[in-house]
Structure 1
Amino acid sequence: MKQKNGKFGSWMRNSITARMLVVGFLLLVLLIPLQFVKSLIIERASRQEAVIREINEKWGNEVLLSGPIVKIPYKVVSEEKIYNQKNNSYFTKRKELVKYAYFLPDKLTISAQVDTKPLNRSIYESVVYSAAIDVTGNFPKIDFSVGDILDENILWEKATVLLNTSNLKGIKTTPIVNLASETLTMTPQYSNENLNTIQSNYIPNAKELLATSHPFSFNLKINGSESLNFLPIGKETDVTMKSNWHSPSFDGNFLPEDTDKEISKDGFSASWRILQINRQFEQSFFGQLPNLTTSAFGTKLIIPVDEYQKSERTAKYGFMVIGLTLLVFLLIQLVSKIYIHPFQYVMIGLALVMFYTLLISISEHSTFFKAYSIAAVSVLGLVTVYSRAIIKGFKFPMLICASLASLYGFIYVIIQLENYALLVGSIGLFLILSTIMFASRNIDWNNAS
């Protein structure tokens, strides 16, 4: 039995094939703790999202604003013939229903000043904003002839003005709409739609007031987070937005004018101009106001790639880092004829896995660059000192240190890039493969069993 073990041990020590199989098996085993690290990153990122969502809900969620809209009820009279069995005759039953007509403005001009600030809870940070919104414009002459509605059926005395928003909680001043010479106070109304409705008191002398084109204006201060969007309900809608946020993402159905868009480290400014012909709905509705949110546009105040996203991207290269490092040790073992025990390979692999746990834990309390540097230097020093104990001398340990440092530097550059990440990564991997092929060209593979 001892003789068999001696032969097996000798084969493990002297066979290139056996060493490669052992290193390949150990690499697959090391994927298990690496996967645990990836799960930890996902868990911490999910925790961050939950905390940020809770902060935003208390401050004010994303804002979508639509309005003002004139709402006027009208009567619809229907007649129904009903058969009377007692006297074998028909009689006519008249039924009155109240429906509503909605009229959108001809001109809508919105100016928004958005001031952002960070909110912290423990180690997590969210970016919220306070927006001061000024709205002006004018309504056209209200015309019911489009809907074939008689004047005597129009309930002018119950005409109101509506504003719709996705965020009632964030409103910090009671909106007051100035309509021509009238001042209208707004109050919230129950709504089961995706937008909450704010409705004014009844418009005094609505029939005379709405018989001609009439201007309107109102101011609104509102707290929000993530995004600020508007609906282009005017025949001509002009929106200007300014903010101190440096990383806006313009989304929705319309993009701002290129000539009026400026983005710098101190903030951004942008303007939109949308005409009726640019969107798919008319200026008046009879019976029901449809969902117009598909035409929304505005700005998302995105947070640049955070530490968890960078850590997750870094961990995706974990297999490559561990595999290439173990391959370097294998090549050194083949060239130097020094035997490296499988346990020592495992220790080296676990040290490389520890890089990612150090990275995510330190990055929660510092910048990603500092966390990456500390984690890389720590693991680099540990692996170099350990390899010095395995491989006597300084030549090969310094080679390992240089190759691992180059690999960490290469990965850091890749994760900082966006447009050229794939190109740089492909070129880098090609160079790494070329180097390995060149370094292994003189190995006598014929000794493999």
Structure 2
Amino acid sequence: METKKQKIGNWFRTSISAKMFVVGFIFLLLLIPLGFVKDLIRERETRQAEVIQEINEKWGNEVVLYGPIIKVPYKTYIEEKTFDEKTKSFLKTYQEVLNHAYFLPKTLDITSEVTSKQLERGIYESVVYTADVDMKGKFSDFDFSTLDVPEEDIIWDRATLLLQTSNLKGIRNEINVQLHTEEYTLKPRFDEAFMSTLESGFLADLSGTTSDTPFSFHIKINGSAALRFIPVGAETSVSMHSDWHSPSFNGNYLPNDESKKISAQGFEAYWTVLETNRQFGQQFFNHLPNLDKFAFGTSLIVPIDDYQKTERTSKYGIMIIGLTLLVFLLIQIISKIAIHPFQYFMIGLALVMFYTLLISISEHQNFLIAYVIAGVAVVGLITAYSKTILKNRKFPLLILGSLTALYAFIFVIIQLENYALLVGSIGLFIILGIVMFTSKKIDWSNTDLGE
């Protein structure tokens, strides 16, 4: 008479339901090391982002240029009343207050040549750029009529020219502004706003200036991630040329469709922004607002990097492990070859190792080479191992073909962007159909599977 322990052992060896339960439990158990691998990928990706940020901070961060702007001081007076006990009447006094008016250019024409460069630190790489920016245009009337300020209260001889930038330390040249017939050098000054401000010394007397006042200057600046401009001109035109092949046009305005060209050798784009396209005028009084939300330009994006590809690949780990274990289970049920739960677990661990191999190799080689090496290693290991436990050539060849097709399918999906979900859904549908029709061959009523 069999003992209770022997009956349970026989049930696990002969029952289809028991084997499915055991394989399912192993599958859930394998999600733990798979989760650790995903954490490792995110940790390495975070480290990469930190290193890139350090490189960019030293070279120069994102560049936003705001200007040029003419700043003219003017006087206003605040009336104050004090009561005189002797005369029993109020005496009026006036306190002088110094304010500033800010005038934006009538036209602004910006030409920028952006040369990209790749900087390395260890195994990490960052894309930075140097931009040669030429700005020219004209200032029109400096009109105080809306404030009704007397001419004698406008301090024309203390007018200055401003240029604001988000990346002061990235500037690589002395900025000399040609304004009308004079030349002025911009110097940095403290500004509580997020942008740094470059301001000229005292300008020549602007009183009586009614005709257009031309200006021009050149700025060479290091930056990373993006180059953007704020359309301060009543008519702003921007052209940008670069050797970078993956631009992302963003901000409040997009480039003219007919002018945008992107190729493997670089890109070029043109913008035209009119005063009617904006939500602000051509002059401000008392303070200069932060108009950063109106900025537009280009981000030099890096196509999906190896960490992102590895992370996307790991998201299909559940499918790879589940389908592989299912294939072995179907082989066991159909052929009545005994496969121990420990062997299932070893096969699952080999599948998990694919992702650690992939991330470690991809840090030193391109993703395709890393994927091929990791895939060949894991598929070869599992195929050789299956030959020792399945005792024939037919089933190991089936394992080889199944795993090769799965890994090739995953590689195709992660290379796609717009059609990844569509192709993935169709592929999973086909796999489900194959499994459904394959399972029809199983006699589910027969539980005697043998050893």
* TM-score calculated relative to the size of structure 1: 0.98
1:144 maps to a residue whose letter is F
1:253 maps to a residue whose letter is N
Give the aligned partner of residue 112 of structure 1: 112
Once residues 417 and 149 of structure 1 are traced to their aligned partners in structure 2, the CA distance between those partners, rounded to angstroms, is 63
Gaps of 5+ in 1: none
Give the aligned partner of residue 39 of structure 2: 39
Q: Is 1:386 the equivalent of 2:385?
A: yes
Once residues 149 and 124 of structure 2 are traced to their aligned partners in structure 1, the CA distance between those partners, rounded to angstroms, is 58
Once residues 146 and 165 of structure 2 are traced to their aligned partners in structure 1, the CA distance between those partners, rounded to angstroms, is 28
Gaps of 5+ in 2: none
Q: State the Cα deviation string for residues 377-410 of structure 1 (Å, max 9, x = none).
A: 0000000011111100000011011001100000
Say how many residue pairs are matched. Answer: 448
- The secondary structure found in structure 2 opposite 1:343 is helix
Once residues 88 and 146 of structure 2 are traced to their aligned partners in structure 1, the CA distance between those partners, rounded to angstroms, is 41
Once the two structures are TM-superposed, the CA of residue 5 in structure 1 deviates from its matched residue by 1.8
Give the aligned partner of residue 443 of structure 2: 444
Once residues 284 and 225 of structure 2 are traced to their aligned partners in structure 1, the CA distance between those partners, rounded to angstroms, is 31
1:123 maps to a residue whose letter is I
Once residues 421 and 3 of structure 1 are traced to their aligned partners in structure 2, the CA distance between those partners, rounded to angstroms, is 55
Contact 1:142 1:212 in 2 (8 A): no
Give the aligned partner of residue 72 of structure 2: 72
1:266 maps to a residue whose letter is Q
Q: State the Cα deviation string for residues 202-237 of structure 1 (Å, max 9, x = none).
A: 1112214x3321100000000000000000000100
Change (3 A) 1:334 1:162: same
- The secondary structure found in structure 1 opposite 2:358 is helix
Once residues 133 and 425 of structure 2 are traced to their aligned partners in structure 1, the CA distance between those partners, rounded to angstroms, is 48
Once the two structures are TM-superposed, the CA of residue 348 in structure 1 deviates from its matched residue by 0.2
Once the two structures are TM-superposed, the CA of residue 157 in structure 1 deviates from its matched residue by 1.2
Q: Is 1:192 the equivalent of 2:199?
A: no
Once residues 40 and 266 of structure 2 are traced to their aligned partners in structure 1, the CA distance between those partners, rounded to angstroms, is 34
1:164 maps to a residue whose letter is Q
Once residues 36 and 211 of structure 1 are traced to their aligned partners in structure 2, the CA distance between those partners, rounded to angstroms, is 70
1:8 maps to a residue whose letter is I
Q: Is 1:263 the equivalent of 2:262?
A: yes
Once residues 146 and 83 of structure 1 are traced to their aligned partners in structure 2, the CA distance between those partners, rounded to angstroms, is 33
Once the two structures are TM-superposed, the CA of residue 447 in structure 1 deviates from its matched residue by 3.4
Change (3 A) 1:358 1:85: farther
Once the two structures are TM-superposed, the CA of residue 88 in structure 1 deviates from its matched residue by 4.0
Q: Is 1:424 the equivalent of 2:446?
A: no
Contact 1:111 1:241 in 2 (8 A): yes
Once residues 14 and 87 of structure 2 are traced to their aligned partners in structure 1, the CA distance between those partners, rounded to angstroms, is 114
1:238 maps to a residue whose letter is S
The aligned runs of 1:289-304 (5 Å cut-off) are 289-304=288-303
Once the two structures are TM-superposed, the CA of residue 146 in structure 1 deviates from its matched residue by 2.3
Q: Is 1:330 the equivalent of 2:329?
A: yes
Q: Is 1:22 the equivalent of 2:19?
A: no
Once residues 83 and 14 of structure 1 are traced to their aligned partners in structure 2, the CA distance between those partners, rounded to angstroms, is 108
Identity %: 58
Once residues 430 and 85 of structure 1 are traced to their aligned partners in structure 2, the CA distance between those partners, rounded to angstroms, is 96
Give the aligned partner of residue 138 of structure 1: 138
Once the two structures are TM-superposed, the CA of residue 448 in structure 1 deviates from its matched residue by 5.4
Q: Is 1:214 the equivalent of 2:210?
A: no
Once residues 62 and 84 of structure 1 are traced to their aligned partners in structure 2, the CA distance between those partners, rounded to angstroms, is 60
2:105 maps to a residue whose letter is P
* TM-score calculated relative to the size of structure 2: 0.98
